[in-house]
């Protein structure tokens, strides 16, 4: 696992966007796992900028988003499908058929989850999975406890997460959907490369737990340490409580 600590959030976002862009250029048919949240907005902005400058082509890229709220369709401004349209898809040349976000209004949610896993397999798996981290230590919406072999499924959202994500819902946690569809920890670990990005002092405590705490299903981000190609990009503030291993001469 590589941990990169940058001086400020802007540098963290640039490092992350460059890693993603390098992956897109290196692979003939790249399959990206995408994430949502405030952290990702700046990263997508940088990728869009590269595309508009003519240096990044998304035409052969396939994407799978991590998660979606149950009950919110693509037209709902709070849905993750809508978020992705606004921050990335509307501005780059991805094929519509290459875009996958779990359908939060599918009539049969379990069938949607099974179909999502099948679609990932049919695309030959995910090359690079982008991840943020929630206050509960979740990756995707894998709330505690989430088995490390869990697959795409319907989950109940933690009260902490509903509060953390309430900004888009008039700051009212009660208005945040209580359930979501999420790739499982097992699904995420199968990606060939993982990239987790976290910035800001608000993430410092959970980052220290994710990097130094016991690897356990109560903090799903600790699973990243089991992956042999994982990169974590932090700014100084997010790394401020991380007890870095001392390297002895």
Q: Which is nearer to ligand GLP, 29 or 38 (CB)?
A: 38
Task: Tell the smallest beta-carbon distance from residue 90 to ligand GLP (Å).
Answer: 20
Q: Which is nearer to ligand GLP, 93 or 167 (CB)?
A: 167
Task: Tell the smallest beta-carbon distance from residue 22 to ligand GLP (Å).
Answer: 22
CA 115 to chain CA centroid, Å, is: 20
Beta strands per DSSP E along 157-229: 179-182, 193-198
Q: Which is nearer to ligand GLP, 27 or 168 (CB)?
A: 168
Q: β-strands 2-6, 230-235: how paired?
A: parallel
Task: Tell the smallest beta-carbon distance from residue 130 to ligand GLP (Å).
Answer: 9
Residue 125, both tokens: 């798996």
Residue 95, both tokens: 């094929």
Q: Which is nearer to ligand GLP, 134 or 177 (CB)?
A: 134
Task: Tell the smallest beta-carbon distance from residue 88 to ligand GLP (Å).
Answer: 15
d(CA 55, CA 235): 26
| Interacting residue ranges for ligand GLP, rule: CB under 6 A | 35-39, 66-67, 132-134, 140-141, 161, 165
Sign of CA dihedral 126, 131, 136, 141: negative
Task: Tell the smallest beta-carbon distance from residue 142 to ligand GLP (Å).
Answer: 9
Q: Which is nearer to ligand GLP, 30 or 134 (CB)?
A: 134
Q: Which is nearer to ligand GLP, 60 or 166 (CB)?
A: 166
The secondary element (H helix, E strand) that includes residue 29 is: none
Residue 137, both tokens: 């230590």
CA 165 to chain CA centroid, Å, is: 14
Ordered DSSP codes for 54-97: T----TT-EEEESEEETT--TTSTTSHHHHHHHHTGGGS---GG
Task: Tell the smallest beta-carbon distance from residue 43 to ligand GLP (Å).
Answer: 10
Q: Which is nearer to ligand GLP, 37 or 74 (CB)?
A: 37
Task: Tell the smallest beta-carbon distance from residue 140 to ligand GLP (Å).
Answer: 5
d(CA 17, CA 42): 9
Q: Which residues contact 224 (CB under 8 A, 6 or more apart)?
A: 1, 131, 139, 194, 196, 210, 230, 232
């Amino acid at each position: 696992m590589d941990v990169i600590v940058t001086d400020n959030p802007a540098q963290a976002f640039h490092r992350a966007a460059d890693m993603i862009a390098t992956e897109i250029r290196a692979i003939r048919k790249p399959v990206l796992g995408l994430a949502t949240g405030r952290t990702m907005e700046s990263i997508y902005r940088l990728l869009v900028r590269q595309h508009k400058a003519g240096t990044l082509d998304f035409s052969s890229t396939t994407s799978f988003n991590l998660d979606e709220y149950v009950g919110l369709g693509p037209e709902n401004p709070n849905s993750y499908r809508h978020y992705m349209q606004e921050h990335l898809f509307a501005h780059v040349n991805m094929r519509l058929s290459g875009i996958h976000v779990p359908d939060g209004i599918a009539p049969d949610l379990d069938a949607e989850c099974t179909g999502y896993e099948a679609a990932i397999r049919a695309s030959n798996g995910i090359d690079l999975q982008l991840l943020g981290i929630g206050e509960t230590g979740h990756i995707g919406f894998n709330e505690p406890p989430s088995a490390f072999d869990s697959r795409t499924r319907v989950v109940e959202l933690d009260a902490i997460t509903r509060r953390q994500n309430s900004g888009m819902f008039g700051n009212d946690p009660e208005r945040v959907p209580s359930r979501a569809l999420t790739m499982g920890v097992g699904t995420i670990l199968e990606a060939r490369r993982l990239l987790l990005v976290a910035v800001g002092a608000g993430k410092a405590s959970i980052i220290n737990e994710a990097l130094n705490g016991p690897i356990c299903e109560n903090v799903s981000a600790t699973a990243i340490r089991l992956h042999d190609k994982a990169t974590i990009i932090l700014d100084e503030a997010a790394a401020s409580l991380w007890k870095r291993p001392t390297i002895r001469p």
